[in-house]
Structure 1
Amino acid sequence: MSDPAVSVVLSVSDDLSLLTWAIESLRRQTLGDWELLPVGAGAVGATREFLDCAATADQRIRLVEHPFLRGRAAAYSAARGYLIAYLDSGGEFYHDHLARAWEGRGRGDVLVFRYDLIADVAGSPDAGTATRYDPLTRHDKLFSESVVAAIGVVHRRELLARIEPFTDGPDYRSAVEADDDLWRKLARVGARFVYIPAASGKWRVRSDTQLSLRPAASPCAVPPALVAVTVHNAVEKRQMLIPRDETGTVARIFGEGKYDGVPVDKLRVPPVIVDVGANVGVFALYAKLRFHRDAIVHCFEPHLPTIELLRRNVRELPGVTVHPFGLGRGDVTAELRLDPRSSAGHSIKAEHVRHPEGIARVTLRDAGAVWDDLGLGEVDVLKLDACGCEGDILEALGPHLTQVRFVLVALNCVTDRPRIEALLPRHQLVIETTRTAEPGLLKFVRLDLRGEMAARVTVHSTHIAGVGPADRTPVMSGFAATSRARGSSYFPRVMFASYHCYHDSASGAALCTRDLFALLTARGWACRVFTGPNLDDPVAPPVGDKLRAYPTTQMARGRFGNADFTLYHSQAGGFPVTMFAPDPPAATRSPTQEEARAFAAVLSDAIREFRPDVVLTYGGDDASRAVVEAGRAVGAAVVFWLHNRAYTDATIFRDCDTVVVPSEASRGHYRDLLGLESVVLPGPWM
């Protein structure tokens, strides 16, 4: 093995989040010819496990078996690079730093770079601000002050032979003091210091950082790399940390029901779930909350920084195992092309990431051999999202696929679909979702279970316009996303469902419902709407015509049986609203039997995924009557909201838990007319 261009000495702390960012910044370097030598007293326990995993996944990472100060000597002895650079768990290199240092290696013996100081002091008003520091401004104080942090220094390795050998002493009080002593020793032996007018990276300055390099300057805001999202079903809440650029993934899985459609009652208890391309664990959490809390989940993820975040997110989920490698057709080391837009887009396929921001070496193992090693046997759900490698993994699994009940496969390119279908001859494609701007999804059921799914639904989803900032926290369908801390009070989940249109501005009932949901949402309730297209105004145009013009609307076309329909997904007042509309559009007529069955089928999926505590409804048509059965099927309390005195059939209310009327007069009217007992709920709704 040839010697690398740069040896990077990494001082390790026990803060895994900072350590992850530091190593990830190194793996994103445009110059990939480096080796990493971690040293530090913090390399024990979980930190050591992390580093062992890192070294296994990337041969450029070599562990040094020493504490930090004494470990410097071991690192220098082990180093093979022409240059030596420095990094610690509070720092991150900018992506071109090592390439810039290599290009400038002939300019001097010691290259000194600028860097950005990030205030990271809890409770400080300056927390999260950045200041560019230039060591040149204090170069004449090298022998009296702490002039430059290690992240700003790159020097030739051969210089170390010209200074006194490193031993177990001196007993430096801090790593900063050790660094300062090294710079001075280099200067004393005549090393030429050259100050480079470029930034090496960023360094977080904490309250325990013993360095007084905090020059006053105009700060600029630095957004956090991770955001916290809390999701819950009817019985439990879970919080996870995700990269800011992955909030859209969370919204699609929990909000838009990306993986909806698997009949939970047809899974074993506990179900076995295989999650290939687990990323940071969003689907694993979905499986625990949606399928069964005791689900056994095997997560496969090859990207080192993502693995650490995945482990952090699932460590409190019993039955979840993280496998720190990817699956493929054989045991190989591959180059993962890092997608600059999203960590979920990293791929070993060049055609999927044409302009990567870096290359990471990852470990892939033969999928069939891993299946045998784990003794998986029957698997309830196989979720496969490997950024273009889905066909290769299915091919490697071969006959093992006959043991899988339901298969969820990402469709990264429409031309992959014939191969995927051919590799699953014992399964039937029942749901297909294709999108214009992101991967679609194919949902298969094993042939012996196909009778459990009434019909194939094909959904072609077209993104009409942008859905707003990626970091906006959504209120999620199927679960609720909140910013409340753990231990806060539980707020009920309520869904309004009716074939009568929630968007109808001419309907007093719709306006009352909108007012009620606005108040409930403001008080922390998780709300969701599934509505039909029916309007009170006989000459009104279809609502879909108006929704298409909204900047946050998404549209999906589907088919159930012989009925074609369109779903319009939008946000209204902080919660999701889905409108079902038959094709061709019909604003005022009652639904046909086929349309009513299609409405009921899609509604049932929405209710099963959202798991409401209360389902609120009104309307006497065949489609609206299906709401009661769908709500009771998930154990929700069904409330019929009577807004007028036009109902004459008592059977409409027979299976409802409660009937609500707006006044005592209405209550008396229906008691006398239908023998119906009801509850008075006057406005305003509190």
Structure 2
Amino acid sequence: MNAPRITVAMSVYNNEAFLAQAVESILAQSFGDFEFLIVNDGSTDGSPAIIDGFAARDPRIRAIHQENRGLVASLNRMIEEARAPLIARMDGDDIALPLRFERQVAFLDAYPDYGVVGVNTHDIDEKGIIHRAFDFHPLDHDSFVAALPDGPPLCHSSVTMRREAVRALGGYRKAYRHCEDYDLWLRLAAHTRLCSLPDRLFHYRRSDGQVSVRHIVAQQTGAAIAWAAYRERTAGRPDPTEGLEQLPRLEELDALFGRKGVTAEVRSRVALGLLHSSSAMGGEGFTMLIDHIRDGGTRDGLWRTVARLVKFGQPLQAARLAVALATH
């Protein structure tokens, strides 16, 4: 049997409400030369039956059922089992428009120096309402690199990647759970080129249950450590997080990186990135913000955060922040 051009890699955990629509959007692609790996990562809802139903009707689908191991383990399993030279990511609640694969394959065929290409997106909410976007993910590699300090410049579930480029770096790293894509882009940027197509060929699902909402502090903290590790690598020093099973606590970062100030740098990066999250400002993120101020970090715009906390219905935090700003 000839290998397909694309392996579609979808990890599913309790996506029952949106899964059928996500799968159907892949089966409706104008470019149909793919195998479709769907890992049921220990779902407890109706997702397994939905997956098996589609697999029975379309021979391109291979269902893999496993106990819950998390997204990183599921993605690495699919990378190892992929038969195609290209791997297309997909999540169980998003929607790929019909020309996505066709345009991505054409781009990668035309530009062999690019190893990853995403597409631009619109958002879609839990009710299926599309919220149109007007900004763009970077459209060339130089713009992609320039955007890296601000977070992931690609929509992870929209990308198509060259399998060997990802495998050469060991795939996704377990320690960077919840920000595994950002860590991967930072590592890949030194070895290949990355960008997104201008075409908006993807609907990215926004919901209160998504990782970037439920685990926002852990995600932002991991991303800040990934950025610190990237800076070590670009300076010609070893990556101190290489081989870790989990990331250390903030107060352990100076020792891990072998220099003072890393803890404060990471804390500041995280705290200032959480100012618009009411959930983060109601807990660990607020503590980081106060420590950032006590460390002598920038205060630009933080008086506006006092007013924002009042708007969030968090007057005690607003008062504590005002006192910290006035006394430190």
- Superposition TM-score, scaled by structure 2 size: 0.56
Unaligned runs of 5+ in 2: 214-328
Task: Tell me: higher relative CO, structure 1 or 2? Use CA pairs within 8 A at least 6 residues apart.
Answer: 2
The aligned counterpart of 2:15 is 15
Task: Determine which of 133, 158, 163 is the counterpart of 1:157.
Answer: 163
The aligned counterpart of 1:51 is 51
Checking the alignment, whether the CA contact within 8 Å between 2:100 and 2:119 is kept in structure 1 is no
Checking the alignment, whether the CA contact within 8 Å between 2:123 and 2:203 is kept in structure 1 is yes
SS in 1 for 2:204: strand
The aligned counterpart of 1:27 is 27
One-letter amino acid of the counterpart of residue 72, structure 1: L
TM-superposed CA distance for 1:29, in Å, is 0.7
The aligned counterpart of 1:76 is 79
Task: Determine which of 122, 129, 132 is the counterpart of 1:130.
Answer: 132
**CA RMSD of superposed structures (Å):** 2.5
Structure 1 residues 210 and 6, CA gap change in structure 2 (3 angstroms): same
Structure 1 residues 147 and 120, CA gap change in structure 2 (3 angstroms): farther
For residues 86 and 209 of structure 1, what CA distance do their matches in structure 2 show? 17
More strand by share: 1
Output one character per residue of 1:124-169: Cα deviation in whole Å (capped at 9) or x when no partner.
xxx65332552118732324413222133211111123203557x2
Checking the alignment, whether the CA contact within 8 Å between 1:113 and 1:134 is kept in structure 2 is no
Checking the alignment, whether the CA contact within 8 Å between 2:40 and 2:48 is kept in structure 1 is no
The aligned counterpart of 2:248 is none
Dislocated runs of 4+, deviation >6 Å: none
Checking the alignment, whether the CA contact within 8 Å between 1:37 and 1:63 is kept in structure 2 is yes
TM-superposed CA distance for 1:60, in Å, is 0.8
One-letter amino acid of the counterpart of residue 196, structure 1: L
Structure number with greater Rg is: 1
Output one character per residue of 1:574-620: Cα deviation in whole Å (capped at 9) or x when no partner.
xxxxxxxxxxxxxxxxxxxxxxxxxxxxxxxxxxxxxxxxxxxxxxx
The aligned counterpart of 1:37 is 37
For residues 163 and 22 of structure 1, what CA distance do their matches in structure 2 show? 29
> Does residue 110 of the first structure (1) align with residue 116 of the second (2)?
yes
The aligned counterpart of 2:175 is 170
For residues 145 and 132 of structure 1, what CA distance do their matches in structure 2 show? 18
Structure 1 residues 132 and 39, CA gap change in structure 2 (3 angstroms): farther
TM-superposed CA distance for 1:13, in Å, is 3.2
Task: Determine which of 136, 141, 148 is the counterpart of 1:142.
Answer: 148
Checking the alignment, whether the CA contact within 8 Å between 1:109 and 1:194 is kept in structure 2 is no
Unaligned runs of 5+ in 1: 213-686
One-letter amino acid of the counterpart of residue 114, structure 1: N
For residues 56 and 11 of structure 1, what CA distance do their matches in structure 2 show? 18
TM-superposed CA distance for 1:9, in Å, is 0.9
For residues 196 and 15 of structure 2, what CA distance do their matches in structure 1 show? 31
For residues 164 and 208 of structure 1, what CA distance do their matches in structure 2 show? 29
SS in 2 for 1:109: strand
The aligned counterpart of 2:319 is none
Identical amino acids, percent of aligned pairs: 22
One-letter amino acid of the counterpart of residue 100, structure 1: R
TM-superposed CA distance for 1:27, in Å, is 0.8
Output one character per residue of 1:197-237: Cα deviation in whole Å (capped at 9) or x when no partner.
2123111111233449xxxxxxxxxxxxxxxxxxxxxxxxx
For residues 19 and 142 of structure 1, what CA distance do their matches in structure 2 show? 31
Structure 1 residues 44 and 33, CA gap change in structure 2 (3 angstroms): farther
Structure 1 residues 117 and 17, CA gap change in structure 2 (3 angstroms): same
The aligned counterpart of 1:193 is 194
Structure 1 residues 84 and 113, CA gap change in structure 2 (3 angstroms): same
Aligned pairs (5 A) from 1:322-471: none
Structure 1 residues 31 and 90, CA gap change in structure 2 (3 angstroms): same
Checking the alignment, whether the CA contact within 8 Å between 1:11 and 1:38 is kept in structure 2 is yes
